Amino acid sequence: MQFKFNSSTPELVDLYVFTNWSAPWKQKSRQRIGWLMPVGFLLLALAFLLEQQYFLGGTIAVLALAWFLFYDKFYTNRLANFAKGFYNHEINERFWAEKTYTFKESHIHLENEYLDAKLQWKGIINIIERENAFWLFETLTAAHIIPKRVMDQNEQEEFRKLLAKKLNWKPSNEGT
């Protein structure tokens, strides 16, 4: 089974945001940042006190409430904007080079103008199937993106079967 394609910015950005925030294994990082939530509550309480005492807290209350409600969205947007800059075409040409993945019985072969690599099946530690791609993880933050746009429905099903056979993988909704 072979797929030839160029990566797209949305695919790379989606992976970057997932591996740096949304992934189940990033829970501790999210919890470390979670200490900020009580700060949001305190700011909100302070704003309401100021509003009642001095009629000054309205703006602070609105800002604190917005921060409290939308912090996760602000943070993921910040990550996405960083990733868009990181994956700039001129700076990181290697991400944009046409690549060919060949899935063989014994290994996965990746080839492009910068790389000719052989990856053993046991080198894949996790697989996540998203709406638009399969992510084959070598580490918790490094994955090979195989976009579904390069496959028809039959090829997607065959690819799932191959992953199930080689890596004992069962499709789930964990990554969607």
Number of domains forming the structure of the chain: 2
Same domain, 101 and 122: yes
- Residue 137 contacts residue 127 (beta carbons within 8 Å): yes
Whether 159 maps to a domain, the answer reads: yes
Tokens of 62: 């609105």
Place of tokens 């789930």: 172
Helical (H) or strand (E) element with 117: strand 115-120
123 found inside a domain: yes
Instruction: Tell whether the model's pLDDT for residue 68 goes beyond 60.
Output: yes
CA distances (Å), 45 to each of 34, 37, 143, in order?
A: 18, 13, 43
- Residue 175 falls inside a structural domain: no
The residue with tokens 């994956």 is 87
- Quick one: pLDDT at residue 176? 43
Q: Are residues 64 and 129 in the same domain?
A: no
pTM: 0.66
Helix/strand/coil for 97: coil
Residue 26 exposed, middle or buried by CB count within 10 Å (0-12, 13-18, 19+)? middle
pLDDT recorded at residue 60: 61
Domain residue limits at 146: 2-8+94-167
CA distance 44 to 64: 5
Residue 3 is which amino acid? F
CB 80 within 8 A of CB 93: no
Distance between CA atoms of residues 144 and 167, nearest Å: 15
- In tens, the pLDDT along 110-161 reads 999 888 999 999 999 999 998 899 999 998 878 899 999 999 999 999 999 9
In this prediction, residue 100 carries a pLDDT of: 93
157 and 104 in a common domain: yes
